[in-house]
Chain A
Amino acid sequence: MIDRSFIGRETSSFEAVAERGRLRFFAHAIGEQDPVYSDLDAARAAGHGDLPVPPTFLFGLDVERPDSFAYVGEMGIDLRHVLHGEQSFAYHRVAVAGEPLRFRSRIADLFEKKGGALQFVVREIAVTDGDDAPVADLRTTIVVRDPRAGA
Protein backbone atom coordinates (compact mmCIF):
# COMPACT_ATOMS: atom_id res chain seq x y z
CA MET A 1 0.00 0.00 0.00
CA ILE A 2 1.23 3.45 -0.90
CA ASP A 3 1.92 5.66 2.09
CA ARG A 4 -1.17 7.87 2.45
CA SER A 5 0.95 10.69 3.82
CA PHE A 6 1.75 11.47 0.18
CA ILE A 7 -1.77 12.97 -0.17
CA GLY A 8 -1.39 16.73 -0.45
CA ARG A 9 2.25 16.47 -1.47
CA GLU A 10 3.10 19.13 -4.04
CA THR A 11 5.66 18.59 -6.75
CA SER A 12 8.01 21.36 -7.77
CA SER A 13 6.47 24.02 -9.97
CA PHE A 14 7.65 23.86 -13.56
CA GLU A 15 7.62 26.29 -16.47
CA ALA A 16 7.31 25.18 -20.08
CA VAL A 17 6.69 26.65 -23.51
CA ALA A 18 4.96 24.86 -26.36
CA GLU A 19 7.12 25.68 -29.35
CA ARG A 20 5.61 25.94 -32.85
CA GLY A 21 7.86 23.24 -34.26
CA ARG A 22 6.92 20.89 -31.47
CA LEU A 23 3.19 21.50 -32.05
CA ARG A 24 3.63 20.75 -35.76
CA PHE A 25 5.46 17.53 -34.81
CA PHE A 26 2.59 16.62 -32.46
CA ALA A 27 0.02 17.31 -35.20
CA HIS A 28 1.99 15.05 -37.53
CA ALA A 29 2.27 12.28 -34.90
CA ILE A 30 -1.51 12.18 -34.35
CA GLY A 31 -2.40 12.59 -38.03
CA GLU A 32 -4.00 16.01 -37.50
CA GLN A 33 -4.54 17.63 -40.89
CA ASP A 34 -6.54 20.69 -39.85
CA PRO A 35 -4.17 23.55 -40.83
CA VAL A 36 -5.19 25.49 -37.70
CA TYR A 37 -2.73 23.26 -35.81
CA SER A 38 0.27 23.68 -38.09
CA ASP A 39 -0.16 26.82 -40.21
CA LEU A 40 0.21 30.17 -38.49
CA ASP A 41 -2.05 32.03 -40.92
CA ALA A 42 -4.80 29.43 -40.53
CA ALA A 43 -4.44 29.59 -36.74
CA ARG A 44 -4.75 33.38 -36.77
CA ALA A 45 -7.71 33.24 -39.14
CA ALA A 46 -9.37 30.93 -36.61
CA GLY A 47 -8.92 33.54 -33.89
CA HIS A 48 -5.78 32.24 -32.19
CA GLY A 49 -2.82 34.49 -31.38
CA ASP A 50 -0.40 31.75 -32.49
CA LEU A 51 -0.61 28.00 -33.11
CA PRO A 52 -3.11 26.69 -30.55
CA VAL A 53 -1.93 24.12 -28.03
CA PRO A 54 -4.23 21.17 -28.86
CA PRO A 55 -6.57 19.80 -26.18
CA THR A 56 -4.36 17.02 -24.76
CA PHE A 57 -0.92 18.55 -25.31
CA LEU A 58 -0.69 20.14 -21.84
CA PHE A 59 -0.48 16.65 -20.36
CA GLY A 60 2.71 16.01 -22.31
CA LEU A 61 4.25 19.34 -21.37
CA ASP A 62 3.79 18.42 -17.73
CA VAL A 63 5.33 14.97 -18.03
CA GLU A 64 8.23 16.46 -19.93
CA ARG A 65 9.67 17.97 -16.76
CA PRO A 66 13.06 16.38 -16.05
CA ASP A 67 11.79 14.51 -12.99
CA SER A 68 8.32 13.76 -14.38
CA PHE A 69 8.10 10.24 -13.01
CA ALA A 70 10.02 11.02 -9.81
CA TYR A 71 6.88 11.05 -7.70
CA VAL A 72 6.14 7.52 -8.91
CA GLY A 73 9.56 6.34 -7.75
CA GLU A 74 9.31 8.16 -4.42
CA MET A 75 6.10 6.26 -3.70
CA GLY A 76 7.87 2.98 -4.37
CA ILE A 77 5.93 2.34 -7.58
CA ASP A 78 7.50 0.44 -10.48
CA LEU A 79 6.74 2.50 -13.60
CA ARG A 80 6.31 -0.72 -15.61
CA HIS A 81 3.21 -1.53 -13.53
CA VAL A 82 1.55 1.84 -14.12
CA LEU A 83 -1.49 2.31 -16.34
CA HIS A 84 -3.29 5.55 -17.10
CA GLY A 85 -6.71 5.22 -15.49
CA GLU A 86 -8.53 8.49 -16.08
CA GLN A 87 -7.75 11.91 -17.49
CA SER A 88 -9.68 15.14 -17.46
CA PHE A 89 -9.10 18.68 -18.68
CA ALA A 90 -10.98 21.89 -17.89
CA TYR A 91 -10.00 24.96 -19.88
CA HIS A 92 -10.09 28.64 -18.95
CA ARG A 93 -8.79 29.57 -22.40
CA VAL A 94 -6.79 28.09 -25.28
CA ALA A 95 -3.03 28.25 -24.71
CA VAL A 96 -0.87 29.09 -27.72
CA ALA A 97 2.67 28.45 -28.92
CA GLY A 98 5.40 30.54 -27.38
CA GLU A 99 3.76 31.63 -24.16
CA PRO A 100 5.28 30.63 -20.83
CA LEU A 101 3.07 28.20 -18.97
CA ARG A 102 3.52 27.22 -15.33
CA PHE A 103 2.54 23.80 -14.02
CA ARG A 104 1.81 23.16 -10.37
CA SER A 105 0.75 19.72 -9.26
CA ARG A 106 -0.26 17.95 -6.11
CA ILE A 107 -1.24 14.45 -5.10
CA ALA A 108 -5.00 14.79 -4.60
CA ASP A 109 -5.89 11.26 -3.52
CA LEU A 110 -4.62 7.72 -3.03
CA PHE A 111 -6.86 4.67 -2.76
CA GLU A 112 -6.89 0.98 -3.56
CA LYS A 113 -9.25 -1.68 -4.90
CA LYS A 114 -9.24 -5.47 -5.00
CA GLY A 115 -7.42 -5.81 -1.70
CA GLY A 116 -4.51 -3.68 -2.82
CA ALA A 117 -4.00 -5.42 -6.16
CA LEU A 118 -4.96 -2.13 -7.82
CA GLN A 119 -3.72 1.12 -6.34
CA PHE A 120 -4.84 4.51 -7.59
CA VAL A 121 -2.91 7.79 -7.51
CA VAL A 122 -4.81 10.99 -8.37
CA ARG A 123 -2.79 14.08 -9.35
CA GLU A 124 -4.21 17.54 -9.96
CA ILE A 125 -2.26 19.93 -12.15
CA ALA A 126 -3.00 23.65 -12.42
CA VAL A 127 -1.66 25.45 -15.49
CA THR A 128 -1.30 29.23 -15.34
CA ASP A 129 0.15 31.84 -17.67
CA GLY A 130 2.75 34.57 -17.31
CA ASP A 131 0.22 36.79 -15.51
CA ASP A 132 -0.60 33.91 -13.14
CA ALA A 133 -4.07 33.70 -14.71
CA PRO A 134 -5.56 30.20 -14.99
CA VAL A 135 -5.26 28.42 -18.34
CA ALA A 136 -6.33 24.85 -17.59
CA ASP A 137 -6.83 22.33 -14.82
CA LEU A 138 -5.85 18.72 -15.34
CA ARG A 139 -6.68 15.66 -13.27
CA THR A 140 -4.75 12.44 -13.84
CA THR A 141 -5.49 9.08 -12.25
CA ILE A 142 -2.88 6.38 -12.61
CA VAL A 143 -3.51 2.74 -11.74
CA VAL A 144 -0.73 0.62 -10.30
CA ARG A 145 -1.11 -3.12 -10.77
CA ASP A 146 0.74 -4.87 -7.98
CA PRO A 147 1.68 -8.31 -9.35
CA ARG A 148 2.58 -9.50 -5.83
CA ALA A 149 -1.07 -9.09 -4.86
CA GLY A 150 -2.06 -11.61 -7.53
CA ALA A 151 -4.39 -9.37 -9.56
Chain B
Amino acid sequence: MSSTDTAWTTVDVGSELPPLELPPISRTTLALFAGASGDHNPIHIDLDVAKSAGLPDVFAHGMLSMAYLGRLLTGWAPQQRLRSWSVRFAAITPVHGQPTCRGRVTAIDEVDGERIATVELGVTLADGTLTLAGDARIALA
Protein backbone atom coordinates (compact mmCIF):
# COMPACT_ATOMS: atom_id res chain seq x y z
CA MET B 1 0.00 0.00 0.00
CA SER B 2 1.31 3.43 -0.82
CA SER B 3 0.21 6.64 0.81
CA THR B 4 -1.53 7.77 -2.36
CA ASP B 5 -4.10 5.00 -1.85
CA THR B 6 -5.54 6.52 1.31
CA ALA B 7 -9.02 7.90 0.76
CA TRP B 8 -8.70 11.07 2.81
CA THR B 9 -12.33 12.06 2.56
CA THR B 10 -13.34 8.92 4.45
CA VAL B 11 -10.86 9.34 7.32
CA ASP B 12 -12.80 9.82 10.53
CA VAL B 13 -12.52 9.22 14.25
CA GLY B 14 -12.24 5.45 14.64
CA SER B 15 -10.57 4.90 11.26
CA GLU B 16 -7.82 2.31 11.51
CA LEU B 17 -4.54 2.40 9.61
CA PRO B 18 -3.74 -0.81 7.73
CA PRO B 19 -1.66 -2.79 10.28
CA LEU B 20 2.02 -3.37 9.51
CA GLU B 21 3.04 -6.93 10.35
CA LEU B 22 6.78 -7.49 10.54
CA PRO B 23 8.77 -10.71 10.32
CA PRO B 24 10.56 -11.91 13.49
CA ILE B 25 13.54 -9.67 14.32
CA SER B 26 16.76 -11.54 13.56
CA ARG B 27 20.26 -10.88 14.87
CA THR B 28 21.15 -9.80 11.33
CA THR B 29 18.42 -7.15 11.46
CA LEU B 30 19.83 -5.86 14.76
CA ALA B 31 23.34 -5.66 13.29
CA LEU B 32 22.12 -3.90 10.16
CA PHE B 33 19.98 -1.50 12.18
CA ALA B 34 22.89 -0.63 14.50
CA GLY B 35 25.02 0.30 11.51
CA ALA B 36 22.30 2.01 9.52
CA SER B 37 20.77 3.97 12.39
CA GLY B 38 24.03 4.97 14.06
CA ASP B 39 23.03 3.52 17.45
CA HIS B 40 26.03 1.36 18.29
CA ASN B 41 25.09 0.53 21.88
CA PRO B 42 26.59 -2.99 22.17
CA ILE B 43 23.74 -4.23 24.37
CA HIS B 44 21.77 -4.79 21.13
CA ILE B 45 24.42 -6.60 19.12
CA ASP B 46 26.99 -8.18 21.44
CA LEU B 47 25.86 -11.20 23.45
CA ASP B 48 28.91 -10.93 25.75
CA VAL B 49 27.93 -7.39 26.75
CA ALA B 50 24.29 -8.40 27.28
CA LYS B 51 25.35 -11.27 29.54
CA SER B 52 27.74 -9.05 31.48
CA ALA B 53 24.73 -6.87 32.30
CA GLY B 54 22.87 -9.92 33.62
CA LEU B 55 20.61 -10.31 30.59
CA PRO B 56 19.96 -13.67 28.93
CA ASP B 57 20.35 -12.29 25.41
CA VAL B 58 20.52 -9.14 23.29
CA PHE B 59 17.30 -7.25 22.67
CA ALA B 60 16.08 -4.99 19.88
CA HIS B 61 16.66 -1.25 19.76
CA GLY B 62 13.51 0.59 20.82
CA MET B 63 14.16 2.85 17.83
CA LEU B 64 13.83 -0.12 15.47
CA SER B 65 10.22 -0.54 16.55
CA MET B 66 9.71 3.21 16.31
CA ALA B 67 11.14 3.09 12.77
CA TYR B 68 8.56 0.39 11.96
CA LEU B 69 5.87 2.71 13.32
CA GLY B 70 7.32 5.40 11.06
CA ARG B 71 6.73 3.04 8.12
CA LEU B 72 3.13 2.58 9.27
CA LEU B 73 2.63 6.36 9.30
CA THR B 74 4.39 7.26 6.05
CA GLY B 75 2.62 4.34 4.35
CA TRP B 76 -0.64 6.01 5.30
CA ALA B 77 0.17 9.69 4.79
CA PRO B 78 3.03 11.45 2.99
CA GLN B 79 5.80 12.32 5.43
CA GLN B 80 5.32 16.06 4.81
CA ARG B 81 2.04 15.76 6.75
CA LEU B 82 3.55 14.25 9.90
CA ARG B 83 3.62 17.14 12.37
CA SER B 84 4.77 15.43 15.56
CA TRP B 85 4.70 12.11 17.38
CA SER B 86 5.70 10.61 20.62
CA VAL B 87 6.09 7.08 21.95
CA ARG B 88 6.70 5.39 25.27
CA PHE B 89 8.75 2.21 25.26
CA ALA B 90 6.66 -0.08 27.46
CA ALA B 91 8.56 -3.37 27.20
CA ILE B 92 11.74 -4.78 25.71
CA THR B 93 11.49 -6.51 22.32
CA PRO B 94 13.54 -9.70 22.56
CA VAL B 95 15.52 -10.97 19.59
CA HIS B 96 13.12 -13.08 17.42
CA GLY B 97 10.20 -10.97 18.66
CA GLN B 98 7.59 -10.38 15.95
CA PRO B 99 6.10 -6.87 16.08
CA THR B 100 2.84 -5.66 14.59
CA CYS B 101 2.24 -1.91 14.30
CA ARG B 102 -1.25 -0.48 14.57
CA GLY B 103 -2.79 2.98 14.45
CA ARG B 104 -6.28 4.36 14.98
CA VAL B 105 -7.61 7.88 14.55
CA THR B 106 -8.88 9.08 17.93
CA ALA B 107 -9.55 12.75 17.18
CA ILE B 108 -9.68 15.25 14.33
CA ASP B 109 -9.15 18.89 15.28
CA GLU B 110 -8.69 22.19 13.52
CA VAL B 111 -5.20 23.46 14.43
CA ASP B 112 -3.68 26.58 12.84
CA GLY B 113 -5.95 26.24 9.80
CA GLU B 114 -5.17 22.55 9.31
CA ARG B 115 -7.28 19.49 9.99
CA ILE B 116 -5.09 17.43 12.30
CA ALA B 117 -5.77 13.77 12.97
CA THR B 118 -4.51 12.34 16.24
CA VAL B 119 -3.50 8.74 15.64
CA GLU B 120 -3.12 6.43 18.61
CA LEU B 121 -0.20 4.07 18.02
CA GLY B 122 0.74 0.67 19.39
CA VAL B 123 3.27 -2.06 18.72
CA THR B 124 2.54 -5.54 20.02
CA LEU B 125 4.41 -8.83 19.84
CA ALA B 126 2.89 -12.16 18.78
CA ASP B 127 2.24 -13.05 22.47
CA GLY B 128 0.26 -9.83 22.93
CA THR B 129 2.96 -7.89 24.81
CA LEU B 130 2.61 -4.15 24.20
CA THR B 131 6.12 -2.84 23.49
CA LEU B 132 5.42 0.72 22.31
CA ALA B 133 2.49 3.05 22.83
CA GLY B 134 2.13 6.59 21.61
CA ASP B 135 0.39 9.01 19.31
CA ALA B 136 1.00 11.05 16.19
CA ARG B 137 -0.46 14.25 14.80
CA ILE B 138 -0.96 14.16 11.04
CA ALA B 139 -2.37 16.88 8.81
CA LEU B 140 -5.22 15.65 6.62
CA ALA B 141 -5.00 17.03 3.10
Contacts and interface: CB of A to CB of B under 8 A. Distances in A.
A56 B89 contact: no
Contacts of A63: 38-40
B79 A52 contact: yes
A90 interface: yes
B66 A25 contact: no
A13 interface: no
A140 B129 CA distance: 23
B95 interface: no
B9 interface: no
Interface residues on B, range: 35 or more
Chain B CB within 10 Å, residue with most, of A55, A59, A86, A90: A55
Provide the main secondary structure of the chain A interface: mixed
A87 B71 contact: no
Interface residues on A, range: 35 or more
Contact of A60 (B62, B63, B71): B63
Contacts, number: 114
Given A29-B29, A30-B68, A80-B52, A55 B36 contact: no
Contact of A47 (B49, B70, B78, B84): B78
22 contacts: A28-B36, A29-B37, A30-B68, A34-B3, A34-B75, A47-B80, A55-B70, A55-B82, A56-B66, A57-B37, A59-B37, A63-B39, A63-B40, A79-B41, A80-B43, A81-B53, A86-B86, A88-B84, A88-B85, A88-B87, A91-B84, A147-B54
Interface of A: 22, 25-26, 28-32, 34, 36, 46-47, 52, 54-57, 59-61, 63-64, 69, 79-91, 93-94, 139, 147
List of 9 A-B pairs having minimum Cβ-Cβ separation, nearest first: A64-B38, A88-B86, A60-B38, A80-B53, A60-B37, A29-B36, A90-B84, A84-B62, A55-B70
